Amino acid sequence: DVKVTQSSRYLVKRTGEKVFLECVQDMDHENMFWYRQDPGLGLRLIYFSYDVKMKEKGDIPEGYSVSREKKERFSLILESASTNQTSMYLCASTTKWERLRSNQPQHFGDGTRLSIL
Amino acid sequence: DQQVKQNSPSLSVQEGRISILNCDYTNSMFDYFLWYKKYPAEGPTFLISISSIKDKNEDGRFTVFLNKSAKHLSLHIVPSQPGDSAVYFCAASVTARQLTFGSGTQLTVLP
């Protein structure tokens, strides 16, 4: 069974701090994703990565960066945290694009609820 | 502009009855659609999907219908159970790449 693990369930940080959210998957998936979930807005894609050291911007990348040094690990970085980045952050992974046709959807971690004070 | 819309933020249904959750989309390039279920304090879990070459896909109590001309899909749950109470997200993608999610519908199944 696929396991996507996010390092923290809850995190409280202060405005201006540099924040690291870590995600690890154990299924050798090529693709990894970071989303944030906000009430009334659903899940919005921040960044994704389709290979080690590769990254692409999603719909809302401003204020965030990512790092993928190893295949199993994808980190989300808030360079200078602000209160509007208080949210639930969700990491997901999936196999290569072509195998998605056989109904292998994205697998999510349980999320990190981040509060910026 | 939201490309995937779930216009009903909440839905209440009696146990044993049918739950119908709706989703509309605007991007005609979407060719793969999914439904996820999310309980509080957990990540979304995949429920069911449908390719644009089909108009119906069934898995046990869950059926997804796709109406491409109306750019509309729906999820039917029959019969509804209290354990089905959760937030349901529909999602869509172009050529099975990144997903675009709707805002979610909170389903409450009343015993």
Q: What is the pLDDT of residues B66-80, one digit of tens each?
A: 999 999 999 999 999
Closest CB from B36, B46, B97 relative to A97: B97
The CATH number for B56's domain is: 2.60.40.10
The whole-angstrom separation of Cα A81 and Cα A70 is 25
Q: Would you call A90 and B45 a contact, using CB atoms and an 8 Å cutoff? A: no
Give the CA distances from residue A32 to residues A59, A74, B92, B99, B102, in Å, rounded to whole numbers and listed in that order.
15, 7, 17, 12, 20
How many structural domains comprise chain B? 1
Q: How far is CA A95 from the centre of its chain?
A: 16
What's the pLDDT at A104? Answer: 64
Inspect the interface and report whether the beta carbons of B43 and A101 lie closer than 8 Å: no
Any idea which of A82-86, B20-24, B50-54, B97-101 has the lowest mean pLDDT?
B97-101
Q: Which of A58, A90, A103 sits opposite B43 (nearest CB)?
A: A90
Interface check for A74 against chain B (CB to CB < 8 A): the answer is no
Residue in the structure block whose two tokens are 């999914």: B34
Is the confidence at residue A98, as pLDDT, over 80?
no
Strands A19-25 and B105-110 turn out to be unpaired
- Cis check: omega of the bond before A39, within 30 degrees of 0: no
How is chain A split into domains, by residue range?
Answer: 4-116
CB contact set of B110 (below 8 Å; sequence gap of 6+): B12, B13, B14, B15, B82
Rounded to whole angstroms, the Cα distance separating A10 from A7 reads 9
Tokens of B24: 């509309």
pLDDT in the model for residue B48: 94
Domain around B96: 4-110
In terms of Cα–Cα distance, which of B103, B97, B90 is closest to B36? Answer: B90
* CATH homologous superfamily, domain A4-116: Immunoglobulins (2.60.40.10)
The residue of B4, B24, B99 whose CB has the most chain A CBs within 10 angstroms, and thus the best one to mutate to test that interface, is: B99
Could you give the CA distance from residue B20 to residue A45 in angstroms, rounded to a whole number?
26
